[in-house]
Each structure stands twice: as structure tokens, then as C-alpha cells.
Structure 1
């Protein structure tokens, strides 16, 4: 059976939306190119998340680090208190997130074709579960197919989180696809265990210099549903 597993953040919903809402709440008079700030914020978050996973950094310190570092790169200095206020505003905005239409249609398509689906997502368990509930992902993914790094004990791109999902679901690597927006976490991580990859290139990552390439790319010219439709047509 063909299996298609999905990342959640910035894959099934646009993570820039709650980020922008939080920024506008905290810094209403400051104008920055948030479409450029956000990937930097994600970079700093990914940089220290393994330390949080290993209990070498607290979640609070991660929240402060990723905001202060990202905004400093754009010449905006913020205090730790402002960074934590930003995180609170961000959590509030996350309570209103909605799945993209493209993602919803794609998941319906997978369901209609009898494809095995699951989630693999990085983040603390309770934090990610709130987003899963807000997006109503239980409609497509039973709870035993939620693989959350904070609960599994390994974070992408560590191949062990992919191997854990494969073991639990009895996946066949050559029949398994992973969909995500992070080149490092999703493409590299899934490729390490022999899966096919679908890269949602939301932030225009330059792939011409990469040694490892995704099997499919979703960009301004190709929707997720068209890519998955192509995969299902050849399954």
C-alpha cells in the first residue's frame, strides 16, 4: 500500500499568518519584510530545538532565543520580556489557524484513494496537539498516527523518528512518501530512510546547489494536490 506522511507546520497551514499576527500585535508601528524574517526565525528555532529535545535548553529560552536573534538580524532589538510577549501573541494566533485549501483537498484525495496517511511533526507534545486539534486533523489522521518529536523522543531530521513511524505503521520505503516544507528536516530526514519526498518550497529555497534533491517540488507553478495526484496516478 502507498503511504503518504505529512509534516504539519508550514505544510498543512501557512505559518507566516500567525507569525505576522503576533508581530503586528507586539510591534504595530514597525515595518519589516516578514516574509524574509520568518524563515530566519525558523532557522534559529531549528538550530536550538535539538537542545530542547535533549533537555539542554528550556522551551522558554528557545522562545526568547529565536525571536531576539531573528529580529536582531533585521536591526530590531527586543528584550526577553518582549520576546515572551511575542510568544504569547503567537500562541493566541495559532488558536485561529486554518488548513490551506490545497492541503485539505490533498488529504481528501488521499482518503478517497485509500492511502495510508500519518503526521510526523517536530515540537513539544501539548503544543503540537493544540495545533492538530485546531486544524481538525483527526479527520484524516487517527491519534495513533501522530508522531510528535516531543513524545517520540527524536526530532527530524534524525532518521529515528522516521524509522519509528515506519515500524509502527509497517511501511515499505519504496512505497512511502513524505511531504514537508523544510529541506533539512523533511527532505534530508526522509531520504535518510529511503523514502520518496515532496518538498513544499514555500520560501523559495535554491535547490541548484543541493546534493540531495526531493523527488517532487511544490512551488508557485505546481500545487500539492497536483503532485499528489501524479503520485496516486502511478501508485
Structure 2
């Protein structure tokens, strides 16, 4: 629905504002360094920033930044094809839902900014069920089936992460669609147990219902 890279950049802007006051460095310099580190390796970005700047830090310092990143109110928007396709589905009386992983506060902030409640019939944040119920656990799909009052073979799930989004098809007859966008971050991710999608598209406009 959104560019994950846009979310990352939004988070780094937020962290840059915080650190510019603490370190007396310009926001732009900190932001540019964070995005450069992230492009090289997504791990331990804040640690590497402090190391680069020769700033001493504790584990608690890093955890506070991670918490600020996850809980910030992001500057994001839907991909341009999302709302038109949702409108078409609504006109056809096709119900829609969201199943999303990730920390609850992070996902809820995204959903609030996007005003997703106005566009979808039901939303499930798997973290609110418990970390063990993140995808590929099937519980969220089972709950969505009941909430939308449909059968599994009437459901279609659109995702982008091969590590968890398409494995549901090994459990239930849910049609799965992998969307591959230019800004996607899971292009080279391996499939879980080699369970692949039924269809592959580059845009939501390519899906025919």
C-alpha cells in the first residue's frame, strides 16, 4: 500500500530532528548519513552513525532511538493505484481488508495517517494478537474470513514479501498475488518453503476481479 522506503526516510527525518539537538549537528547531515548507512546495510544504522561521529553511547541510547523511530507519526501516502482500485472494488461490492505485521504502534500510526479505516472493511494488526501470530501464522486470515463473511477460496491476498505473505496458500485455498514495485524492498527475498504466489503483478491495476 505504501513505499516502505518512504517510511524509513520519514523515520530518519524524525530521528535527525532529535539528534541534531543532542549532537549539535545539522539535521541534513545526520539524515544524509542515516540514509547512506541504510542503503549500505539496514542493520545497526544508529550504532554506525554514533561510531562515525565518534559519539559514545549505551544500549539504552540505541533503544530510545529505535522506540522513537517506531512510534513516530510518519509522512507517508498510498501508492497512486491504491485508492482508485479500492473505489472500483467498492462499486462491485467486493469487501476489502488489511492484514499487517509489524509493531502495533508503528502499524497503527501508519493506518491513522492513511485514514485506512475509511477505505477498508476490516483491519487486523497481527501484533495485537501476539508476536507469535504474525504472518505466516494463519490466524489473521481465519479472523478476516469470519469478519468479512467469506470462504477461503473467495479470498485474494496481495502482498510483497515472499518470506511470509504467500505461505497461507499452503494452508488454505487463498489466491495470492505478489506485487513487485520499483521501490520494493523484498525483491531478492527467498520464498518460505518455496511456496510461491499464484499471480505476479507490477500494479494493482493489473489485478482483474
Fold conserved (TM > 0.5)? yes
Aligned pair partner of 1:186 in 149, 156, 165: 165
Residue 200 of structure 1 is matched in structure 2 by 179
Residues 115-130 of structure 1 mapped to structure 2, 5 A cutoff: 115-130=94-109
State the structure with more CA Rg: 2
Aligned pair partner of 1:146 in 123, 131, 154: 123
Contact kept in structure 1, 2:77 and 2:114, CA below 8 Å:
yes
| 2:176 partner SS | strand
Aligned pair partner of 2:8 in 13, 19, 22: 19
Equivalenced residue count is: 182
Residue 72 of structure 2 is matched in structure 1 by 92
Query: Over residues 89-119 of structure 1, what are the superposed CA-to-partner deviations in whole Å (9 max), with x where a residue is unaligned?
Result: 454351x221111222222222122111111
1:196 Cα shift? Answer: 0.8
Distance 1:208 1:159 in 2: 16
Residue 36 of structure 2 is matched in structure 1 by 32
Distance 1:164 1:101 in 2: 29
Distance 2:164 2:38 in 1: 22
TM-score (norm 1): 0.64
Residues 1-235 of structure 1 mapped to structure 2, 5 A cutoff: 12-23=1-12, 25=16, 27-28=30-31, 30=33, 32=36, 34-35=38-39, 37-38=41-42, 68=44, 79-80=58-59, 81-89=61-69, 91-92=71-72, 94=74, 96-142=75-121, 145-153=122-130, 154-201=133-180, 202-203=184-185, 204-205=187-188, 211-218=194-201, 222-226=202-206, 228=207, 230=208, 232=209
Distance 1:181 1:109 in 2: 22
1:157 Cα shift? Answer: 0.8
1:193 Cα shift? Answer: 2.1
Distance 2:190 2:164 in 1: 15
Give the structure, 1 or 2, with the largest relative contact order (CA under 8 Å, sep 6 or more). Answer: 1
Distance 2:134 2:147 in 1: 16
TM-score (norm 2): 0.70
1:29 Cα shift? Answer: 5.2
1:137 Cα shift? Answer: 0.9
Gaps of 5+ in 2: 20-29, 52-56
Gaps of 5+ in 1: 1-11, 39-66
Contact kept in structure 1, 2:167 and 2:192, CA below 8 Å:
no
1:178 Cα shift? Answer: 0.4
